[in-house]
Amino acid sequence: MGSEKANPDPSKVQISFSTPFDDLIPKLDEPEAQFYLDAIRIYLGLCEGSITMEMALKAVDLLKDNPEYTAYPTNPTTIAVNQRYKLKMLENLKTLNKFNLFTKSSIKSAYNFAFLIEEAPISNTDLSVLSVLTKAPTISLVEASNILNVAPRTIARSLNRLQERNHLRVSCLVDFSAFNLQSVMMFFTVQEGLDWDLIERGFSQYPFTKSILKTTMTDVGYVTFLFPNYEDNKQIFNSSIKRVTKTIFDYTSLHYQTHSGAVSNVDLFNNDKWDLPPNIEDMLKDDRELDPKNNPPILDCSGVKPELKIEDYIIASQIQMDARAAPSKISESLSIKGFDFDSKEVSTIVRKLQNRNLLSHYLMFALPRLSSNFCFEITCNDEYKPRILETIGRFPWTMYYISSRGIIVWTMTPGEHQVEYYQLFRALEQKPGVDSVNPIMTISQRGSKSMLDLTRNMTYQNGRWSVDPKDIDISPYMDF
């Protein structure tokens, strides 16, 4: 892909390394269960220094060939080496061995539970820095120090604490439609009596699936696809989805992305507790006049820009991981993955992406009692969308995906206000212009396949991806 170095096919490469804990990690016949044991081994190897980051990334490439990776994207190289995490993981492994619990669900829980975020208190200084970042995520240390009237080194120390204790990450949404990639979400309910594990496996094997979410707490789930050359391929996809729907799903609802955004309001956190947004009960009143100044940030899907190159795509994909990273760090991270960019090239491309309005920065963080996670599919007309956006833009943390069909909302809310936020969403169904509201309560935020993972077997030139239209047909993957 572009300036990627010629590497052997990762599926043909065996990565050999050992850890001091290999006697706790068996070899299983079930690939999906072995997937999580391999992830555990890679992380423990990184903690002990028995595997280099370059070796670990190659080992993760092998994990990505497992269909389980699409259903539950798991990359131990993206998790900070942490003694506390390592000890938790070892304790969980010992429990699995003691009770011989080497099923996929048990091993997956042992892996995920090691990284559960523990609520950490936040100082007033750190909260002030976080508040500044919500308004300007990529602000410089000097600019932030001038706003808060403290030394730049104080801001730097605060950022380090926020990253370590409160899992702060500065990311960015990217308008990938500029690279001829169309995001499509499908909400669904499965017909009674069908095996969800088989359906999930079919989605996981489909090469254009980006993420899957279905919990035991609700009948509704969703799957996200990312399609190259969509104008040419949409008819094939739509026809194949219709065929699948007749035999597998009771309900399907397709959303073709037109805009996206994310916003946070940490100023609602005061005296170690969360306040409700002012006048929350009045936000959705039909006679309330909207103020355009209250609109949250929105990134347009602007359409294909053939002049953009594969190098622009690679940098755009990488800065999603850490939008505050220095160009030298981005260059180093890409070098490990086999891409050759110097710091100057990185800086030039990032400026190009920003100048073309292809990026929208946002924060991810963990603050005390911000523990309830919701996803809502809201089908509504265009006239009611601004009212919903203005309302959700005042929540503690929200991400939104806009389509011609409606709005999908992911939000983190305080546990003590869970009912208020939930009822606010459900009350939308009574509003003119809103057809339906489908809620999903999730235990935690779910990741997705990275953009580079999705396109690693394709080439890109002059606004076109090297994809055979026949590969767009999803029905062969759902034939069971």
Angle between helices 327-336 and 310-319 (to 10 degrees): 110
Question: Mean of the pLDDT values across residues 125-131?
Answer: 96
**Within 10 A of 453 (CB to CB), how many other CB atoms are there?**
18
Report CA-CA distances (Å) from 396 to 13, 322, 392: 45, 21, 9
Read off the pLDDT of each residue in 245-273 and give the average, rounded to a whole number: 94
Residues 257 and 375 reside in one and the same domain: yes
Mean pLDDT to the nearest integer, 351-373? 92
**What whole-number distance in Å separates Cα of residue 122 and Cα of residue 101?**
37
pLDDT of residue 6: 35
Q: Per-residue confidence at 449, pLDDT binned at 50, 70, 90?
A: confident
- Confidence class of residue 328 from pLDDT cuts 50, 70 and 90? very high
Domain boundary among 99, 132, 167: 167
Both 276 and 129 in one domain: the answer is no
Residues 318 and 349 in one domain: yes
CB 478 within 8 A of CB 199: yes
Q: Is the pLDDT of residue 287 over 70?
A: yes
Do 318 and 371 share a domain, yes or no? no
Tokens 């304790």 correspond to what residue? 91
Same domain, 148 and 228: no
Q: Say if residue 280 is in the same domain as residue 179.
A: yes
Residue 144 lies in a domain: yes
Share of the chain above pLDDT 90, in %: 64
Q: Are 447 and 73 in contact (CB under 8 A)?
A: yes
- Domain of residue 467, residue span: 169-305+356-480
pLDDT exceeds 60 at position 458 = yes
- N-to-C CA span, the chain: 34
The first and second tokens of residue 32, run together, are 């999906």
User: Can you give the CATH number for the domain in which 140 is found?
Assistant: 1.10.10
Number of domains in the chain: 4
Q: Does 10 score more than 90 pLDDT? A: no
222-226 average pLDDT score? 95
Give a yes or no: residue 107 inside a domain: yes
Tell whether 81 and 31 lie within a shared domain.
yes
Pairwise CA distance, residues 271 & 124, whole Å:
9
Mean of the per-residue pLDDT values for the chain?
A: 89
pLDDT top residue among 289 and 185: 185
Least confident stretch, 49-53, 77-81, 341-345, 421-425: 77-81
**Mean pLDDT, rounded, for 424-439:** 91
